[in-house]
Amino acid sequence: MDQKRQRQLANLEIAKTALRDNLHVHFLDDTAPARMGRALAHIREAAIATERGPSLISEHFWKSGQNGV
């Protein structure tokens, strides 16, 4: 894994830890924990995409000729 992807994964891990820690803080706004939970899910998805790299992107594109296109 190259340095850029390693840095990205490290940054995502820091963000994930901060969000997890903040989920246990009492908020005045009831929507904050739900929003942080969604953000945490996005962070996890980004980590998976970063770990899998370009192969993840190519799996999601249609090949020409599929579905009559």
Residue 12: Cβ-neighbour burial (10 angstroms; 0-12, 13-18, 19+): buried
Q: Are 33 and 23 in contact (CB under 8 A)?
A: yes
44 assigned to some structural domain: yes
38 assigned to some structural domain: yes
69 assigned to some structural domain: no
Domain count, the chain: 1
- For residue 30, the model assigns a pLDDT of 81
Q: Which of 24, 60, 54, 20 is nearest to 40 (CA)?
A: 20
58 assigned to some structural domain: no
Q: Name the token pair of 17.
A: 């830890």
Encode pLDDT of 19-65 as tens digits: 999 888 887 788 888 899 999 999 999 999 999 876 655 555 545 55
Q: For the full predicted model, state whether its pTM sits above 0.85.
A: no
9 assigned to some structural domain: no
Can you give the residue range of the structural domain that contains 49?
29-53
Residue 46: Cβ-neighbour burial (10 angstroms; 0-12, 13-18, 19+): middle
6 assigned to some structural domain: no
**What three-state secondary structure class fits 43?**
helix
34 assigned to some structural domain: yes
